[in-house]
């Protein structure tokens, strides 16, 4: 298959190329795409060098699928043009996620909603993906009423500029700032801009996307998102109130048997998920499973995943795999 990766020179784009290789996606021709500024650069993929082209050139090359990871502005401008040319777009930005005419897909949960007519498919926010992967099998069994989530998000979620800022601060060097404040030895309780209600866009994404992906607007969600000086993955403390009572051993078994989840929950041996466990992995790690003793039918849990992998690149490639396997491309 001809595969275009739009934003191929960025952090997530680079991860896309890695994931396509690791998962043996049948790429007959890679089309790396970036802005005019990056056009002409070389990108290595599976032992070959490919020349980066602009989006209009990429469209003329007629890829079967285009995976976008180049920001919302690029997606709003170019995704419809690719789609109009008959190319299926899987978009990793926030541009199309809440568009009622576009599907927001986590393959383990709602890939069955996809059809051949879906030419622009939205990849959810990284922090939302890992949470819903862990919560969906529990929702099926016990019915979720309310979610309270606090996130501890890696600087890799901001991009290379933020990684450079953290590394410069660790070395005591001056450099370009991705954040308003120092990030090393610090936490920043703001991800994206604030809205009129006092929540950030990142927090509102988690709230709205959870309802859309899980196809249930009755689930109440509230979120606080925090940037931490960590590389390798996002972590989340999640408090879940259910409609039905649960047995903790049964609940653990449901998670252990669910696709894409690894339960790491053995406090006697100090085993619990950390970003170091998730780094470079596609699975969502779950641990610290325990009852909320302050109210009935409520669970506390800790969820960790590599935000560049399952939170972005891997989920997008899994969507492409589903489309191909079910004859939904072309």
Residues catalogued as catalytic: 126, 234
Report d(CA 288, CA 302) in Å as an integer. Answer: 6
Pairing label, strands 48-51, 88-91: unpaired
Query: HSE (CB half, 13 Å, CA atoms) of 88?
Result: 26
**Residues 60 and 69: beta-carbon distance below 8 Å:** no
- Cβ contacts of residue 208 below 8 Å, gap of 6+? 98
φ/ψ of residue 52, rounded to 5: -70, 135
CB atoms within 10 A of CB 262: 19
Report d(CA 27, CA 21) in Å as an integer. Answer: 9
User: What is the torsional sign of CA 265, 270, 272, 276?
Assistant: negative
Tell me the DSSP string of 189-247.
S--S-B-TTS-BHHHHHHHHHHHHHTT-TT-EEEEEEEE-S--S-EEEEEEEEESS---
Query: In the chain, how many H helices and how many E strands?
Result: 10, 14
Torsion of CA 122, 125, 130, 136, to 10 degrees: -50
Tell me the DSSP string of 278-323.
HTT--SEEEEEEEE-TTSTTEEEEEEEE-TTIIIIIHHHHHHHHHH
């Amino acid at each position: 298959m001809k595969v275009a990766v739009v934003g191929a020179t960025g952090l997530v784009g680079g991860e896309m190329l890695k994931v396509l290789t690791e998962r043996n996606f049948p790429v007959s021709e890679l089309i790396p795409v970036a802005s005019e500024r990056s056009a002409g650069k070389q990108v290595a993929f599976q032992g070959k060098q490919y020349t980066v082209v602009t989006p209009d050139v990429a469209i003329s090359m007629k890829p079967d699928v285009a995976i976008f990871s180049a920001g919302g502005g690029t997606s709003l401008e170019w995704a419809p043009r690719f789609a109009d040319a008959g190319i299926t777009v899987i978009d990793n930005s926030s541009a199309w996620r809440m568009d009622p005419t576009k599907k927001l897909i986590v393959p383990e949960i709602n890939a069955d909603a996809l059809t051949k007519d879906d030419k622009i498919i939205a990849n959810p926010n990284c922090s939302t993906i890992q949470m819903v992967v862990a919560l969906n099998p529990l929702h099926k069994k016990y019915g979720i009423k309310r979610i309270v989530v606090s996130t501890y998000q890696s600087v890799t979620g901001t991009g290379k500029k933020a990684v450079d800022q953290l590394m410069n601060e660790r070395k005591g060097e001056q450099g370009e700032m991705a954040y308003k404040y120092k990030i090393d030895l610090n936490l920043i309780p703001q991800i994206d801009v604030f809205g009129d209600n006092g929540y950030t866009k990142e927090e509102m994404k988690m709230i709205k996307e959870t309802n859309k992906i899980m196809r249930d607007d009755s689930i109440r969600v509230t979120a606080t998102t925090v940037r931490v000086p960590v590389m390798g993955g996002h972590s989340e403390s999640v408090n879940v109130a259910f409609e039905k009572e649960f047995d903790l051993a049964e609940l653990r078994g449901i998670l252990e048997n669910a696709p894409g989840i690894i339960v790491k929950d053995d406090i006697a041996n100090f085993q619990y998920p950390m970003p170091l466990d998730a780094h470079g992995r596609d699975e969502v790690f779950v641990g610290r499973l325990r009852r909320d003793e302050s109210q009935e039918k409520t669970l506390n849990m800790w969820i960790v995943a590599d935000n560049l992998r399952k939170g972005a690149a891997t989920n997008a490639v899994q969507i492409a795999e589903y489309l191909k396997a079910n004859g939904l491309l072309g």
